[in-house]
Amino acid sequence: MFKDISYYKPDVDSCVERIRRFFSSPPGTLGPLLYTFPGVLEAKGPRLDSYDYETQLTQYLDDYLEYQAELMEMRRGLEDDWVPAVGPYLGIGEYSAFVAGEIEFGPDTSWVQPVLPDKEALDSLKLDPRNKWFLMLNLATRYMVERIAPYRIPFARGYYSPLDLAWSLRGEAIYLDLYEDPAWVHKLLGFCVDAIDWFARAQNAQVFRDGLVHKFASLHTAPDRIAISEDIASLCSPSHYVEFGLPYTQELIRRFGQCDIHCHSAGAHAVPEFLKLRGLRQLQIVDDPNQRRPVTILEELIQRIPSLTDGTADTPALAINASAEEVEQCFELASKAKVVFCVTTATRAEAEEVISMFKAMLRARTPRTAGA
């Protein structure tokens, strides 16, 4: 099914070295990174609602891994900065079902109904190592890692932020709770920090088992780093995020060391608050329909936050969805900060054109040495 990672990425060693130097250097030192994803919108994985996961989990995982191998084959040899990886996908339901609830599957995603319609139920909510989905998700990760590790392919996965998990467990009622019962929300968020910590460490125990750790194992997922979504912050005011989101995400970062955050352009108002988090390694901003483009958000951030361009090696990187035209237009500005361009193209040929253009601009830029 898979081949060694060097088959898909012949320049993998130099690519990984550039990535590591990028994240450990001050802004403006190396220039941007470029990730390209050709054809992913057309490629379709197995239907999630076609399996009985209690009896067909490994069948689904085999089908899903076959799909991942096809995606890697589609982008084999592309000379961008993306290193192929495999991550789990059971839809968004898996991000909270390890605590409680039953996953309901649709064709291409899943969900869990809120399990806290009554606030009093929080007192009986426990982190149960016998939870069906906790066990199945750990088994799924173990199974996938065992099949990709011999080929030095890294594993990648993320989690809900504490605020996102609180929303999933409580449902839409949490937006009223922020006003009517903030003390209860803080109690729920404390539980969510512990829940994410517990599950992430259980997952890491499957990823970094003896005999499965290889040279690139910690590239996308690491024992001292956690990746989370901060989607619910898009629907909160900045002041609400400062009270109910930031302290709990900061505590999660404290427990792990570093954090990568995924957010949406609809939540641009919260992005400056995310950048106040200590230990933030990368902030990914993806685009939403009928919202400002991530490139315009980047421009505003660079004007507003001087540390993004004159900061130190631990200044967070900004990963932004961009078109080929936006990469060209924004390259010089992005070169002053730590920026990762993420470009999705319809075809491989279009990805190759973007990469060629990007490399030409990278060669033409005047580099700034570390410490300058």
Q: Which residues of the chain have pLDDT under 70?
A: 41, 367-372
Q: Which of 126, 12, 133, 132 is nearest to 79 (CA)?
A: 12
Helix intervals (H) in the chain: 5-8, 12-23, 53-74, 94-97, 132-148, 162-170, 174-180, 182-207, 238-244, 246-256, 271-274, 294-304, 307-310, 324-335, 348-364
Q: Which of 219, 264, 263 is nearest to 13 (CA)?
A: 219
3-state secondary structure of 297: helix
Cα separation, 70 vs 96, in Å, equals: 29
33-38 and 339-345: which strand pairing? parallel
CA atoms within 13 A on the CB side of 233: 32
By the 8 A CB rule, do 346 and 324 touch? Answer: no
Look up the domain containing 113 and give its range: 5-364
In a domain, 30, yes or no: yes
> How many independent structural domains does the chain possess?
1
∠ Cα 203 131 202 (to 5°)? 15
The whole-angstrom distance between residue 310's C-alpha and the CA centroid of its chain comes to 26
Residue 224 tokens, joined: 């001292």
CATH of the domain at 255: 3.20.20.210
Signed CA dihedral, 246, 252, 255, 261: sign only:
negative
Q: Give the tens place of pLDDT for each residue, 28-64.
A: 999 999 999 998 767 789 999 999 999 999 999 999 9
103-105 and 110-112: which strand pairing? antiparallel
Side chain identity, residue 14? S
In a domain, 67, yes or no: yes
In a domain, 371, yes or no: no
* Long-range contacts, stretch 112-115, CB < 8 angstroms, 24+ apart: 112/168, 113/171, 114/168, 114/169, 114/170, 114/171, 114/173, 115/169
**Number of other residues whose CB lies within 10 A of the CB of residue 33:** 23
Phi, psi angle pair for 181, to nearest 5°: -150, 65
In a domain, 370, yes or no: no
In a domain, 195, yes or no: yes
User: 282 has which bridge partners?
Assistant: 260, 317
In a domain, 237, yes or no: yes
Please provide the size of the chain in residues: 372
Query: Residue 39 has what pLDDT?
Result: 81
In a domain, 369, yes or no: no
By the 8 A CB rule, do 28 and 309 touch? Answer: yes
Q: Which helix (H) or strand (E) holds 103?
A: strand 103-105
In a domain, 261, yes or no: yes
Side chain identity, residue 369? T
